[in-house]
Amino acid sequence: MILDSLGLSRTYHSLHPGLIAAFGWLETSSTTAEKGRHDIAEGVAAIVDSYSTAPASEKKWEAHRCHVDLQVVLSGSELVGWSPASGLIARIPYNPEKDAEFYEPPTAATTMFRLSPGLFAIFFPGDGHQPGVMEERSGEVRKVVFKLCI
């Protein structure tokens, strides 16, 4: 998992060929993009969504096997949990069509961080994550999640 400033995004271009396209799309299209899926390059999709944050007890833990997630909050902010998926207990078995497995809340310590405009998070296969958690109270978030095929 990586958490960093968008101003340093070029640092990560070499990690995956789709990151160049994703960060480029973010600079040119994210403010006008409608909700939904946008295929932006071979093996790279941007999914724009808006939602209300909620208590951690209402948000699912998930991980992927075939995609890297690049998550960027465009407005609002949320807390995001991270834990290695290897230490999580499956709640909903892996679905290859959705490339997702969902987990019970971790019993061991996890990392929580604030994702807000100007920052990005990259989750690799095996990174358990729990997006959309509210801070002090529920708030509205507009976010883009890039799905990068590996």
pTM over 0.85: yes
Closest C-alpha to 53, from 141, 136, 142: 141
Cβ of 11: how many Cβ atoms within 10 Å? 12
Q: Mean pLDDT by 10-residue block, N- to C-terminus, for the chain (150 residues)?
A: 97 96 94 93 97 97 97 98 95 95 90 97 97 97 96
CATH number where 34 lies: 2.60.120.370
State the pLDDT at residue 30.
84
Q: Are 33 and 144 in contact (CB under 8 A)?
A: yes
Tokens representing 125?
A: 């296969």
Tell me how many domains the chain contains: 1
- What SS3 state is found at 76? coil
Question: What residues make up the domain containing 29?
Answer: 2-149
